[in-house]
Structure 1
Amino acid sequence: MLLGELLEKIEYKLVRGTLDTEILNLVYDSRKVTEGSVFVCIKGFKINGHDYAKEVIAKGAKALIISEEVETESGVTLIKVEDTRLALACMSAAFFGYPAEKLKTIGITGTKGKTTTSYMVRSILENAGLKTGLIGTIEVIIGDEVIPAANTTPESYQIQEYLAKMVEIGCKCVVMEVSSQGLKLHRVAGFTFDYGIFTNIEPDHIGPDEHKDFEEYMECKGMLFKNCVTGIANADDPHMKEVLRGYTCKLETYGIDRQADLMAYNINLHSREGSLGVTYQLKGLLDYEVYVNLPGKFSIYNSLTAIAICRHFDIHKEEVLKALTMVKVKGRVEPVNISSKFSMMIDYAHNAMSLESLLTTLKEYKPKRLVCLFGCGGNRSKLRRYEMGEISSNLADLTVVTSDNPRFEEPEDILNDVITGVKKGKGEYIAIIDRKEAIKYCIENAREGDVIVLAGKGHEDYQEIKGVKYKMDERDLIRQAVEEIKAEGKTII
């Protein structure tokens, strides 16, 4: 491929060299440069790609994409652009043959709900016979291939490579979680989404390496709605208009409390043989009853969002309803079937805001007891430990304090910090450092009508201790605990 072909949708200045340079590889990591590469100099938070100009030329780079001056040999082509991250996104799309144009692309942004909603959408589309890829926080799914995710939204080159693979195996659609960082850093530039979705927004991801304030966070979320054909937004979110300011897409809304194009009403919470779920009626653009085998108001919003998206694919309601009963998202109020007498679930809630939301939701089911097992990570804010301890003690009847990722701290010290917060609440508590033993305690001592939530680890399958990640999946810990209880001749109610 000629360099000029990679640059066809970019504004640039040819500083030196020729656009007729044959390019064999597109690279933004200096370690991956090979003979015939074009190297895009990305200026990151800690490393500036421009500093590696001489190194990549020595490795065989034939062209450099720059946004600031570099010292180079005269035989190398230099292309200057305003923003090298944006250039990388557009060049990546060209390098892989614009795969997004061959797919129906669905981008979901918001503080909460992205992961569960994306799995719901994929479940509905796949159930209707539309082969659908997924790019998200937990994993990337391309047909039978499942790739663990490093970031919610990968770098633009990686996204385009994934999209190209999806096209190659016959995918018709892709659903993608789109983070504010992904938008800010142009990771999803280079193509236009068919559908852009806004779930909700709360103050989050604000700090030196993310967003300077809530206003910037909202502004970055809103970038999606200047880069999609149809926008679908949560009308109940108080910041919706600010997030969507200046939107250029056709807009639809959904909600529960405020007037919207698609609404849920007649909401009922259900507990069936240890399984928690919700039913509601749709009105507006659609009219039928929905049952979701996941608990709480957030499950209504997530499913309502998924239905609002999939409505555009003319999928029959029976297929939608069937898919929603089958959805199971790893680590997101993920039900674990041990007994019909009590409910157990795994959830990723790992900060005060998410834990409070989760426990408040579960209390609405009026359990006999609400039991919350969680720990806090080491080398992180102590304030988070105090807050989570107090929240759990105020909302749960029993808090089981255990270990999470101690990292370079002693687990006992972390537990003591959590207990400081727990003691400010009114609930009972017990501390068991070993997570498997803590889970075993919850199962052994479960009472009929209990709701037990294992919080904090969610989809993670490791425990980090002293710089080493050891395999630890809560699903395995639950299985081991159950086997031990039975081996000891004890019964589970």
Structure 2
Amino acid sequence: MKVKDLLKGLDYFCKDKNLLEIEINDISFDTRDIKEDSIFVCNKGVNYDTHNDIERLKNDSRIKVIITEKSYDFQTVVVKDGRKALALICKNLFLNGYTPKLIGITGTNGKTTTCYLIDHILSFANIKTARLGTINYKIDDEIYPAPTTTPSPYDLYKMISKAKNKGCSNVVMEVSSHALDQSRVFGLTYDYAVYTNLSGDHLDYHESIDDYFKAKSRLFHEYLNGYAIINIDDSYGEKLRESLENKNNCLTYSFNSNNANIFVKSYDKGLEKSFVLFELDGRELEVETKLVGKHNIYNLMASILVAYKYGIDLEQIKKAIVSFENVPGRLDKIVHNNIYVFIDYAHTDDALKNVLQSLLPFKKRRIITLFGCGGDRDKTKRPRMAKVAEEYSDLVVVTSDNPRNEDPQSIINDILKGFDDNSKVIVEVDRRRAIEIALGNALEGDIVLIAGKGHEDYQLIKGIKYHFDDKEEVLRFFGKI
């Protein structure tokens, strides 16, 4: 594709017009991965600005043209924003006019389950769909690893291109605050945008909770041309709804407010399955679900609203929900000798609270909670997670999560500041040993929650990625593998 075609939709300055006629085969944006006959897009990253490498880049024969935010006396095209330019160039190369229906889900918690649910309901209705999110990327029936919740513009548009090639008419995806702040989804227009909730997380990246909210809101104010679907039980959700110019295209969900488009009339909960009676725009909808907990009822409501606006028959929606199995690493259940073990990704205080509140009604004897906190991430949530674990648990095991480049004991010390009573707290830095301690303390009738990593099958320690899977450790302890 010619450079001028890659730059469609961009404001740019090019001194040498001959550059615009050069044929380009690929896009490069990382000096560690330069492709043959490529256009290199310089941009300011979080930790590094590739404009610093300009002298090396101009002498690399693999690069035909360089996109920069500054003017140079060689083969450059100047743009105002390198990040946005990268996204739009990727879109032009990979999509070439393909415009699937896009569903974006943002919020602190619930994005993954809601994404899975929407994908399942649409697929159940024979609508070919791609799914992009935290656990993996699914293009129709093919699965790809997911390095990040929302991939880089290059990987994102390449995945959407794969969806095009597989005949998918829809893409449902999690949209992180980082992705919105870094313009990774620039160039996309969403037909549906779902807001789940907002609580303290990523405050190592965002300056404040309000800054975090503003990043999330960009999905609705800058990228949406369709329906906004918002949880109005969340205070920031109500704030978001009020900020929308087109409130006619805003659909709301709530656990008990009959002002919402969908709300809960009755809820018969269980560990094996639950029955929920919703009211949806004046119509009753009773569903059976294997999902556990109130937080999952919110995820169901968001998913039902999307499917409802797609025009999927309510009976078909009900059948799809009944057939939906649990999401990997989200209240993943293992039962052994009447001990219920749940593995969950909850890694914020709000998510941990939601999960523990969901398990509390089923407590026969004790709840034992194991958790840690990731290194090089938001430190403010560490003591908050301790307070939640202490409030809802009879025994707490504090351990490592992904310490990354931090000292694991230092992370644990931050967590311990949140406990009022350390008498029911066990500290074990080694996560494998900690799981053995939690399960070894469990007796018949106990519930054990192993929180923080969920579907992850690794630990990150001092820059090295080690294989580690909470579920494998539980099964090994019980002699099931």
TM range (shorter): 0.7 to 0.9
Q: CA deviation at 1:347?
A: 0.9
What's 1:80 paired with? 78
CA displacement, residues 296-341 of structure 1 (integer Å, 9 cap, x when unaligned): 22111001001111112333334323333423112222223445x3
In the alignment, is the contact (CA less than 8 A) between 2:263 and 2:301 conserved in 1?
yes
CA displacement, residues 30-74 of structure 1 (integer Å, 9 cap, x when unaligned): 33334432211111233222222232232232222222233x43x
Letter in 2 for 1:136: G
CA displacement, residues 363-389 of structure 1 (integer Å, 9 cap, x when unaligned): 244443222122344677877554434
Q: Secondary structure at the match of 1:295?
A: coil
Q: Distance in 2 between matches of 1:233 and 1:11?
A: 34
CA displacement, residues 389-427 of structure 1 (integer Å, 9 cap, x when unaligned): 4432232112234443455677677667656655x2387
In the superposition, relative to structure 1, how do residues 92 and 378 fare at CA in structure 2: closer, same or farther (>3 Å)? closer
In the superposition, relative to structure 1, how do residues 421 and 197 fare at CA in structure 2: closer, same or farther (>3 Å)? closer
In the superposition, relative to structure 1, how do residues 85 and 415 fare at CA in structure 2: closer, same or farther (>3 Å)? closer
What's 1:472 paired with? 468
Question: Are 1:89 and 2:87 counterparts?
Answer: yes
Structure 2 residue corresponding to 1:125, chosen from 122, 127, 132: 122
Structure 2 residue corresponding to 1:233, chosen from 230, 241, 244: 230
In the alignment, is the contact (CA less than 8 A) between 2:367 and 2:393 conserved in 1?
yes
Question: Are 1:211 and 2:206 counterparts?
Answer: yes
Aligned residue runs from structure 1 range 388-407, under 5 A: 388-406=385-403
Aligned residue runs from structure 1 range 45-444, under 5 A: 45-60=46-61, 61-70=63-72, 72-73=73-74, 76=75, 78-98=76-96, 101=99, 103-207=100-204, 210-226=205-221, 227-228=223-224, 229-244=226-241, 245-247=243-245, 250-272=249-271, 275=272, 277=274, 279-284=276-281, 286-325=283-322, 326-338=324-336, 341-377=338-374, 385-406=382-403, 421-422=418-419, 424-425=420-421, 428-431=424-427, 435-440=431-436, 442-443=438-439
In the alignment, is the contact (CA less than 8 A) between 2:308 and 2:314 conserved in 1?
no
Q: Secondary structure at the match of 1:58?
A: coil
In the alignment, is the contact (CA less than 8 A) between 2:200 and 2:381 conserved in 1?
no
Q: CA deviation at 1:118?
A: 0.4
Q: Secondary structure at the match of 2:194?
A: strand
In the superposition, relative to structure 1, how do residues 199 and 260 fare at CA in structure 2: closer, same or farther (>3 Å)? farther
Q: Distance in 1 between matches of 2:365 and 2:373?
A: 26
What's 2:24 paired with? 23
Q: Secondary structure at the match of 2:131?
A: strand
Q: Secondary structure at the match of 1:194?
A: strand
CA displacement, residues 238-261 of structure 1 (integer Å, 9 cap, x when unaligned): 223543525458322222233445
RMSD: 2.9
In the alignment, is the contact (CA less than 8 A) between 1:279 and 1:291 conserved in 2?
yes
**Unaligned 5+ runs, structure 1:** 487-493
Letter in 2 for 1:216: D
Q: Secondary structure at the match of 1:360?
A: helix
Q: CA deviation at 1:107?
A: 0.5
| Of 138-147 and 117-126, the range deviating more from structure 2 | 138-147
What's 1:490 paired with? none
In the alignment, is the contact (CA less than 8 A) between 1:276 and 1:343 conserved in 2?
no
What's 1:2 paired with? 2
In the alignment, is the contact (CA less than 8 A) between 1:349 and 1:355 conserved in 2?
yes
Letter in 2 for 1:56: L
In the superposition, relative to structure 1, how do residues 399 and 137 fare at CA in structure 2: closer, same or farther (>3 Å)? same
CA displacement, residues 263-316 of structure 1 (integer Å, 9 cap, x when unaligned): 2223324225xx364523233264211222222221110010011111123333
CA displacement, residues 199-249 of structure 1 (integer Å, 9 cap, x when unaligned): 122343234xx3333333222222222322222122222223543525458
Q: CA deviation at 1:194?
A: 1.5
Q: CA deviation at 1:136?
A: 0.8
Q: Secondary structure at the match of 1:116?
A: helix
CA displacement, residues 456-487 of structure 1 (integer Å, 9 cap, x when unaligned): 22121113345432211112112211117x9x
**Unaligned 5+ runs, structure 2:** none
In the superposition, relative to structure 1, how do residues 247 and 181 fare at CA in structure 2: closer, same or farther (>3 Å)? farther
Q: Distance in 2 between matches of 1:182 and 1:43?
A: 14
In the superposition, relative to structure 1, how do residues 293 and 86 fare at CA in structure 2: closer, same or farther (>3 Å)? same
Task: Calculate percent identity across the aligned residue pairs.
Answer: 35
Q: CA deviation at 1:446?
A: 4.0
Q: Distance in 1 between matches of 2:108 and 2:69?
A: 32
Structure 2 residue corresponding to 1:460, chosen from 456, 459, 479: 456
Q: Secondary structure at the match of 2:465?
A: strand
| Of 463-472 and 151-160, the range deviating more from structure 2 | 463-472
TM-score calculated relative to the size of structure 1: 0.86
TM-score calculated relative to the size of structure 2: 0.88
In the superposition, relative to structure 1, how do residues 366 and 283 fare at CA in structure 2: closer, same or farther (>3 Å)? farther
In the alignment, is the contact (CA less than 8 A) between 2:363 and 2:447 conserved in 1?
no
CA displacement, residues 94-124 of structure 1 (integer Å, 9 cap, x when unaligned): 11134650x2211111122111100111111
In the alignment, is the contact (CA less than 8 A) between 1:278 and 1:296 conserved in 2?
no
Q: Secondary structure at the match of 1:483?
A: coil
Q: CA deviation at 1:444?
A: 5.5
In the alignment, is the contact (CA less than 8 A) between 1:100 and 1:191 conserved in 2?
no
Letter in 2 for 1:2: K
Q: Secondary structure at the match of 2:354?
A: helix
What's 1:489 paired with? none
Q: Secondary structure at the match of 1:62?
A: strand
Q: Distance in 2 between matches of 1:328 and 1:262?
A: 26
Q: Distance in 2 between matches of 1:156 and 1:123?
A: 25
In the superposition, relative to structure 1, how do residues 9 and 381 fare at CA in structure 2: closer, same or farther (>3 Å)? closer
In the alignment, is the contact (CA less than 8 A) between 1:231 and 1:252 conserved in 2?
yes
Q: Distance in 1 between matches of 2:326 and 2:94?
A: 33
What's 1:32 paired with? 33
| Of 134-143 and 24-33, the range deviating more from structure 2 | 24-33
Q: CA deviation at 1:352?
A: 3.2
Q: Distance in 2 between matches of 1:185 and 1:288?
A: 40
Q: CA deviation at 1:450?
A: 2.9
